[in-house]
Amino acid sequence: MFENIAPEHSVALDVIIRARRSVRAFSSTPPSEEAVEAIIQAGLLAPFGALAVAGKPDFRKVFVIRKSSASMEAVANMIKTRMAKQADELEKKVGLVPFVQILKRIGQQGVPVVGSAPYFIVVGERKGMPAIAAQSLSYCLQNMWLKATSLGIGLQLISATSQMDSDPDFCRLLGIPAGEYALDGCSLGYPADNYQPPSVEYPTLTKSVSWL
Ligand SMILES: Cc1cc2nc3c(=O)[nH]c(=O)nc-3n(C[C@H](O)[C@H](O)[C@H](O)COP(=O)(O)O)c2cc1C
């Protein structure tokens, strides 16, 4: 096993892992459909909860929504409406904590890059037992993120997508039964000119690892 893997592949993977960042401003030049498909292909090869989706060949679905399309306008509005509703419900329970303030802002203004990036990609993973669809989605998105990075394409996770999994209008637009698929999503596109992500301090081997 692993016969096709040479040391330079490992070095290249390290470079890509270190280069991956959240991109939150996009160029209007769209990546090609071939590039988008290559990114999705990487996601489709991510691991899945075999027991949870046994006997369900359609366990992973991907939806590509293009900028300026009727679908993009519809999904952006649906997310906005859902976030506004959720903010109201949460505010009644926990008050105006920072997370509720962010939801409220999304409810008023929408998710900033849904609609302004060239593509909004939604990934669905069929729910099952054990309930691990969300974890599978994370692996899928991470594979997509690394592949996008290797192509010089930026990706921003859009976590609000996960709140849409039981929204009847959203699921109808995607053509999936409401509530049966966990959802996650991301915006994709080339980084805007001069886009610089904020500096981030990642955990280090020395500070974070204990060998027992
Ligand atoms: C589970 C999860 C959800 C996230 N959701 C969002 C999101 O909705 N929008 C966003 O811009 N970034 C989101 N992020 C990205 C993180 O904010 C980001 O990875 C972190 O700040 C480190 O920055 P970097 O990705 O540039 O290295 C999410 C990250 C994780 C792990």
Tokens representing 135 are: 């974890």
Predicted pLDDT of residue 197:
95
pLDDT of residue 114: 83
Check whether 113 has a pLDDT greater than 90. Answer: no
Q: Is 35 in the pocket of ligand 1 (CB under 6 A)?
A: no
**CA–CA gap between residue 119 and residue 40 (Å, rounded):** 12
d(CA 71, CA 170): 10
What is the distance between the terminal CA atoms of the chain, rounded to a whole angstrom?
A: 29
Nearest residue CA, atom 17 of ligand 1?
Answer: 22
Distance 150 CA to ligand 1 centre (A): 18
Please name the residue whose Cα sits nearest to atom 29 of ligand 1.
157
Average of per-residue pLDDT across 176-197 = 97
157 lines ligand 1 (CB under 6 A): yes
- The pTM (predicted TM-score) of the whole model is 0.96
Mean pLDDT of all residues in 186-200: 96
Check residue 82 and give its pLDDT. Answer: 93
- Comparing C-alpha atoms, which of 97, 32, 45, 75 is closest to residue 163? 75
Res. 187: pLDDT tops 80: yes
Q: What is the mean pLDDT of residues 6-29?
A: 97
To test ligand 1's pocket by mutation, which of 79, 159, 186, 188 has the most ligand atoms within 8 angstroms of CB?
Answer: 159
pLDDT tens-digit series, residues 60-87: 999 999 999 999 999 999 999 999 999 9
Residue 112: pLDDT over 90: no
- Tell me the pLDDT of the chain averaged across its residues: 96
Q: How many angstroms separate the alpha carbon of residue 212 from the centre of ligand 1?
A: 31
Which string of DSSP letters, residue by residue, matches 132-195? -HHHHHHHHHHHHHHHHHHTT-EEEE-GGGGGGTT-HHHHHHHTS-TTTEEEEEEEEEPBPTT-
CATH no., domain 24-70+117-190? 3.40.109.10
